Amino acid sequence: MSVTGPKLQPTLFELSGTGRAAGRRIPAPPADALDRLPAAARRAVPPALPEVDEASLVRHYVNLSQLNWGVDTGFYPLGSCTMKYNPKVNEWAARLPGFAALHPLAPDETAQGTLEMLWELERDLAEISGMDAVTLQPAAGAQGELTGMLVVRAYHRARRDLERTDVLIPDSAHGTNPATASMAGFRTVNIPSAPDGGVDLEAFRAALGSHTAAIMITNPSTLGLFERRIVELLELVHAAGALAYMDGANLNAILGRFRPGEAGFDVMHFNVHKTFSTPHGGGGPGAGPVGVREPLIPFLPAPRVLRELGGTFRLERPGERPASIGRMRGHVGNVGILLRAWAYIRAHGADGLREVSDDAVLAANYLRGRLEADGAYEVPYPGPCAHEFIASGAGLKRATGVRTLDVAKRLIDKGYHPPTIYFPHTVDEAMLIEPTETERLETLDAFADALLEIAREAHETPELVTSAPHSAPVRRLDEATAARQPNLRWRPENRAEPPRPG
Ligand SMILES: *Cc1c(COP(=O)(O)O)cnc(C)c1O
């Protein structure tokens, strides 16, 4: 596929011309500079870098940035991802030089402010979740899951309870849950949903036993539903000697309303980049702290941040807590992301955080209500949703041949980022829509209008929808190949291959 088109940018290689590199004017290095490098480390052939003047370089990247979609450019209802507006004051806080310029290996004495901030954030997250202790080390939600499951494994092993091989996972869980359980060495057992979208208690009871290490449950689930049978589920899990893991990435729905630790969950992770304000979406940095109940504290990753009696802070020393599962990541975590979370939590306070969730749930139910009232799409699960909801284009497809994928592509023409589609897999032609608390009523209405207008177009001029997008820089991409063979290497079309490093 060509990367140049009317709205696209030529690559830097295509803009390149010999002698145009602004970098050429850097003062000459000392004549013996190369002699100081070992011969084996020197290039035989110059690197194949493009040569571009500075103005072209700046325009190239600024124009590219304007092709990007972000929550700062428009509505982004990508379900399960919580693409909400992030207050810019948190960006300011994360760039304060005392934090941003701290060396990751700085001795504890010169890192007191950062250690204190991390210690406070651990306590805030423990308070919010009802857990007894929190580690901030994991670099993302999925790594938090892995951390949590390694802690679960360490707990059972420490008790010489060695036959617990199974992790039960409802089919409404996030896809990372079974992947994590497998990576941590467990066998995953899929538990079907009941017709109301909750866990099927009978199937759950049948799968549970002395081989069960844990249940991993996404709550609210990827159907946007709060699990109503939590009390029974947790009683069964604990009676079987197993532990309960909650995927807390959907915490945006339950702040100040439900504390997983208080309800009886033993371990959970947070997606601070979703719930507590970090711009994310390009696969960029995140953080996935993990909270645990008292009996699991000895196994948390090392080093933990400790507060000494005198009020100073330090990191645990190597080997100080022998039962620890060890390090999950370098240093103490993604501090810039954690600092944004600290600032966000402090700015909102307890009442503000509860309001975040109340508004997120209200927005989702409003949008859900508008679609349900119209009937062009099905809204499969009855009753109120949490912070996101499922709509289905199955009926529309039967009537018009237009698929949910086409609806999503047509939304781009109407100025919207599509919702999550074909996930969860348990719903035919699914759309998982999460508006978040930061959108105003007018935006929600305009988005609902756009979806309903597309349904009308599907009946009247289906080819307009099936050939969308019409206004985007590129039309339909080969998504299967993009996912299976993500080979993004550029090759010149009609010029000789630029020299490659020797
Ligand atoms: C986003 C998400 C995850 C994974 O988190 P990452 O930070 O992307 O690794 C796990 N579970 C749920 C429910 C999520 O929404």
Query: Residue 410 Cα, ligand 1 centroid: separation in angstroms?
Result: 27
pLDDT of 3 strictly over 50: no
Query: Residue 81 Cα, ligand 1 centroid: separation in angstroms?
Result: 7
Task: Please tell us whether the domain made up of 88-347 is placed in CATH 3.40.190.290.
Answer: no
Confidence band for 499, pLDDT divided at 50, 70 and 90: very low
The predicted pLDDT at position 25 comes to 62
Mean confidence (pLDDT) of the chain: 93
C-alpha span between 291 and 247 (Å, rounded): 11
Could you identify the atom of ligand 1 that is nearest to the CA of residue 143?
9
pLDDT digits (tens, 9 = 90+) for 148-179: 999 999 999 999 999 999 999 999 999 999 99
Q: Which two tokens stand for residue 128?
A: 């919010």
Query: Residue 68 Cα, ligand 1 centroid: separation in angstroms?
Result: 22
The predicted pLDDT at position 22 comes to 57
Average pLDDT score over residue span 10-32: 78
Confidence band for 496, pLDDT divided at 50, 70 and 90: low
pLDDT of 1 strictly over 60: no
Confidence band for 383, pLDDT divided at 50, 70 and 90: confident
The residue whose two tokens read 């072209």 is 56
Could you tell which of 84, 271, 433 is best to mutate to test the pocket of ligand 1, judged by most ligand atoms within 8 Å of the CB?
A: 271
Query: Residue 165 Cα, ligand 1 centroid: separation in angstroms?
Result: 24
Could you identify the atom of ligand 1 that is nearest to the CA of residue 144?
9
pLDDT of 128 strictly over 60: yes
Query: Residue 124 Cα, ligand 1 centroid: separation in angstroms?
Result: 21
The predicted pLDDT at position 33 comes to 80
Could you identify the atom of ligand 1 that is nearest to the CA of residue 142?
9
Peptide bond into 220 cis (omega under 30): yes
Could you tell which of 176, 221, 278, 436 is best to mutate to test the pocket of ligand 1, judged by most ligand atoms within 8 Å of the CB?
A: 176
Average pLDDT score over residue span 374-403: 96
Residue 189: φ, ψ to 5°: -120, 120
| CA distance to 56, 116, 255, 354, per residue, from 349 (Å) | 46, 18, 11, 9
C-alpha span between 298 and 133 (Å, rounded): 10
Kindly state the helix (H) or strand (E) to which residue 275 belongs, with its residue range.
helix 272-275
Which residues line ligand 1 at a C-beta cut-off of 6 Å? 80, 140-142, 174, 176, 218, 247, 249-250, 271, 286, 288
- Higher-confidence residue of 491 and 55: namely 55
- Higher-confidence residue of 465 and 63: namely 465
Count of alpha carbons within 13 angstroms of residue 500, beta-carbon side: 6
Query: Residue 493 Cα, ligand 1 centroid: separation in angstroms?
Result: 39
Confidence band for 26, pLDDT divided at 50, 70 and 90: low
Q: Which of 61-75, 95-109, 166-180 has the lowest mean pLDDT?
A: 61-75
pLDDT of 444 strictly over 60: yes
Could you tell which of 80, 222, 278, 434 is best to mutate to test the pocket of ligand 1, judged by most ligand atoms within 8 Å of the CB?
A: 80
The residue whose two tokens read 């991802």 is 81
pLDDT digits (tens, 9 = 90+) for 333-343: 999 999 999 99
pLDDT of 210 strictly over 50: yes
Could you identify the atom of ligand 1 that is nearest to the CA of residue 176?
10
pLDDT of 500 strictly over 60: no
pLDDT of 2 strictly over 60: no
Average pLDDT score over residue span 107-133: 98
Among 306, 283, 152, residue whose Cα is nearest residue 214: 152
pLDDT of 467 strictly over 60: yes
The predicted pLDDT at position 193 comes to 93
Could you tell which of 81, 227, 247, 387 is best to mutate to test the pocket of ligand 1, judged by most ligand atoms within 8 Å of the CB?
A: 247
Ligand 1, atom 1, residue with closest C-alpha = 81
Concatenated DSSP letters for 406-421? HHHHHHHHTT----EE
pTM: 0.91
Ligand 1, atom 6, residue with closest C-alpha = 141
Query: Residue 245 Cα, ligand 1 centroid: separation in angstroms?
Result: 14
Confidence band for 382, pLDDT divided at 50, 70 and 90: confident
Topology, domain 350-484:
Aspartate Aminotransferase, domain 1 (3.90.1150)
Do 315 and 331 contact (CB within 8 A), yes or no? Answer: no
Among 468, 349, 461, residue whose Cα is nearest residue 404: 468
C-alpha span between 241 and 305 (Å, rounded): 30
Average pLDDT score over residue span 392-404: 98
The predicted pLDDT at position 305 comes to 97
Which range is most confident: 30-34, 144-148, 487-491, 492-496? 144-148
The predicted pLDDT at position 502 comes to 37
Contacts of 380-384 with C-beta under 8 Å, sequence gap 24+, read 380/427, 381/196, 381/197, 381/223, 381/224, 381/225, 382/196
Residues of the chain within CATH 3.90.1150.10 domain(s) are 350-484
Confidence band for 285, pLDDT divided at 50, 70 and 90: confident
Query: Residue 349 Cα, ligand 1 centroid: separation in angstroms?
Result: 24
Tell me the CA end-to-end span of the chain in Å, nearest whole number.
Answer: 28
